Chain A
Amino acid sequence: MSNVLIKSADIVGKGRRDVLVRDGRVAEIGSVSEKSTVAKDVEVVDADGLVLLPGLVDLHTHLREPGREDAETVLSGTRAAAKGGYTAVCAMANSYPVADTAGVVEQVAALGRAAGYADVQPIGAVSIGLEGKRLAEIGAMAQSAAAVRMFSDDGHCVHDPVLMRRALEYVKTFDGLVAQHAEEPRLTEGAQMNEGAVSAELGLPGWPSVAEEAIIARDVLLAEYTGARVHFCHVSTARSVDIIREAKARGAKVTAEVCPHHLLLTDEAARSYDPVYKVNPPLRREADVAVLRAALVEGVIDAVATDHAPHAPQDKECEWAAARPGMLGLETALSISVLALGGPAEVDWDVLAERTSRTPARIAGLEAHGRDPQPGTEANFTLVDPSATWTVVPEGLASLSRNTPYAGMELPVTVQATFLRGRATVLNGKIEEETHS
């Protein structure tokens, strides 16, 4: 089914139109008569009451393959992505083996194509083995079939200022960028949660906000000094937002993402000692959540990125300190982004599309994604029901893992359909089992 007529969808909240898709691209937009299409093997999707968004693009996904296929695979992770309205995901480099060679990034890209649920753009490691010592073969990964543009040691900070400088100078040659996990490692040794009143009481070693802010400040300066692009992963503190705002005002080539959980949850959740709430960077204070939300509306934060981090049960069903950090995100990100942008009644769909699709596609260099429907564009869309709600049931998620912090929560907005090059990966709210029609 790559010929589709989407009837009367509200296009990014700007008004109802019909969208006719042929051979994976938008053929016609406006008022399209069904009669003219029935004979031509076109499936009609009634989108009355639904909002059409450009397919969501995630700058920060852990697909766990190769290496931890018990937690997630490229197939299961991209099915979760499609269910969440995504048409493209950027796969982080911390697999086993690490995506620090052309071979691994090409393998991940190929697995994504074979799965067919979302475009998978591999992110390459900055340093060999994410060890922060020697540069990985960035050029080889850039020139590989995976055409890597974004590099990150995510999970680890590129904390050595010399290595960071060299990486920035290096990626500049092909307009690449470094996505920095901003965490000064000496300030966070043994850290378990946000340092503050709650950690003081719980006796869990604190992760001070300044450990993030110090690296962001340094890397803003390095970005300006080298003229290269830096992207800040999972920005979590109010002061980080200030630094990024000032940097952008000066013209530094910096961009930033925020995770859904940092837009909704706070360190109070740690009181349960349930490691489903353990994540890195950690959940912060209510005041940080408010500033991050405002920064997302304003655009100081460019994008919502999930940091989707599936973990096997044994890595979460344990004491807090022994648990691995990270939480699922792909299937809940849209709903939480809507909440953070004012709720389903108040949300500006154009801003939502900007932060969850267009801007992340632009940052990642994914030309075919993040585009509103125009004749000739690839048909990468999602159709969402703004008036529906759903309850998060971990067992009902498409991910192989269950570590969602939103279990039992009722969230606004459901994904009714997702189209990747005109082919439905999700239809009527259900994942299509056959993606290669």
Chain B
Amino acid sequence: MKHLLTTKELSREEAELILDVTEQMAEAVTGREVPKLPALRGRTVVNLFFEDSTRTRTSFETAAKRLSADVVNFAAKTSSVNKGESLRDTALTLQAMGADAVVIRHPAAGAPQRLTEWIEGAVLNAGDGTHAHPTQALLDAYTMKKRLGGVEGRTVAIVGDILHSRVARSNIWLLSKLGAHVRLVGPPTLLPKDIDDWPVEIGYDLDASLKGVDAVMMLRVQRERQNAAFFPTANEYARLYGLDERRLALMPDHAIVMHPGPMNRGMEIAAAVADSPRATITEQVTNGVWVRMAVLYLLLTNGESK
């Protein structure tokens, strides 16, 4: 593994290796007085963020620092990108500075893949447009593993704005690769066209789709989508596709509620559901750090030293 761009390109073995190393990272650091490993000492990790995302950037930064890497935050908002510097020139600058790994978040799908053509270091996709967000999917799979005892054979409903969701895409490829059954649920306007070949079931009725699930993954839905006629109003969306307490009761008792955050309380998820013990939202955040440690470690050391 030279880069991590999508979960689609991962083999099942690679995905399982990442999840195993994630477990080791969690065990190695948890409970330590100084929660830090020396594995990436002297390595430079650049966080190249072209979109505001304090959550994801902080998660990557924490992960890199716990591995003792030097972290440089290159926030495109405050850099020369606003003055019109191209992605390529930014890449060449980072290359010249000697970045060992670049963690990139970009609003354009495919930007991380382009970056691999211009720099020698490892590229880690932290979310590109509506294309992919592989570490989110890995942390979701890890969360399921911890809470449900595994992924294989489990049924996961992914609910909401599939069309605009890189989280959904990455989860579909990863979870199905790991042997889960994936259901997509949402209004037809928010499902991509021509996805008959995807390894998923498609449903439009949330109540029906919640039967027998082991996990439900609620996606963030932007209110502004109503202006482009994707749904009539936020209220109607919440009524048809929001997860409230009544719907929570339709799920099996062991089933968990996941959300990649940030949440729109009252839109796709009711406040009471978000705060219920069945919601794994803060665990997902914690697991995100372990997963990102595992990925940085594997990309930068090829798993050679520990």
- Report which A residues bind B (CB closer than 8 A): 192, 195-197, 199-206, 208, 272-274, 314, 317-322
Contact = CB atoms under 8 A, between A and B. Distances in A.
Given A319-B106, A321-B108, A321-B109, A200 B193 contact: yes
A361 B169 CA distance: 49
Give me the 3 closest cross-chain CB pairs, A-B, nearest first: A273-B110, A203-B131, A200-B192
7 contacts: A197-B197, A200-B192, A203-B131, A203-B132, A273-B110, A320-B114, A322-B108
Question: Size class of B's contact patch?
Answer: 20 to 34
Contacts of A204: 109-110, 129-131
Interface in B58-100: 86-88
Contact of A273 (B8, B114, B198): B114
B111 interface: yes
Interface string B101-123: 00000111111011000000000
B110 A317 contact: no
Contacts of A195: 193-194
Contacts of B107: 321
A199 B114 CA distance: 17
Contacts, number: 68
Given A317-B86, A318-B114, A203 B193 contact: no
A319 B87 contact: yes
Nearest to A196: B194
B169 A201 contact: yes
Contacts of B106: 319
Contact of A200 (B87, B111, B194): B194
Contacts of A199: 192
Most buried by B among A201, A206, A321: A201
A203 B109 contact: yes
Contacts of A192: 109
Contacts of B1: none
A320 B109 contact: yes
Contact of B114 (A196, A197, A203, A319): A319
Given A273-B109, A273-B113, A319-B110, A203 B129 contact: yes
Contacts of A314: 86
Given A204-B129, A273-B114, A320 B108 contact: yes
Q: In terms of DSSP, what is the predominant structure of the interface of chain B?
A: loop
B158 to A, nearest CB: 14
A270 B90 CA distance: 23
B177 interface: no
B57 interface: no
Interface in B135-178: 166, 169
Given A202-B131, A314-B86, A320 B193 contact: no
B48 to A, nearest CB: 13
A231 to B, nearest CB: 30
Given A196-B193, A199-B192, A200-B195, A318 B110 contact: no
Nearest to A193: B109
A214 to B, nearest CB: 16
B166 A203 contact: yes
Given A203-B109, A204-B110, 4 more contacts: A205-B130, A319-B110, A320-B110, A320-B114
B218 to A, nearest CB: 20
Nearest to A274: B114
A202 to B, nearest CB: 6
B193 A319 contact: no
Most buried by B among A203, A272, A273, A314: A203
A285 to B, nearest CB: 9
Most buried by B among A199, A274, A320: A320
Interface in B190-205: 192-198
A40 B288 CA distance: 85
B226 to A, nearest CB: 16
B169 A203 contact: yes
A118 B93 CA distance: 44
A277 to B, nearest CB: 11
Nearest to B169: A203
A203 B194 CA distance: 13
Contacts of B169: 201, 203
Nearest to B115: A319
Given A203-B169, A273-B110, A273-B113, A318 B88 contact: yes
A181 B1 CA distance: 44
Contacts of A274: 114
Given A314-B86, A317-B86, A318-B87, A202 B195 contact: no
Contacts of B129: 203-204, 321
Given A314-B86, A318-B88, A202 B110 contact: yes
Contacts of B8: 201
A323 to B, nearest CB: 10
A195 B131 CA distance: 14
Contacts of B194: 195-197, 200
Contacts of A208: 193
Contacts of B128: 203
Contacts of A205: 130
B111 A319 contact: yes
Nearest to B107: A321
Contacts of A200: 192-195, 198
Contacts of A197: 194-197
A196 to B, nearest CB: 5
B127 to A, nearest CB: 10
B283 to A, nearest CB: 27
B142 to A, nearest CB: 23
Contacts of B86: 314, 317-318, 322
Contacts of B196: 197
Most buried by B among A195, A196, A197, A206: A197
Contacts of B110: 202, 204, 273, 319-320
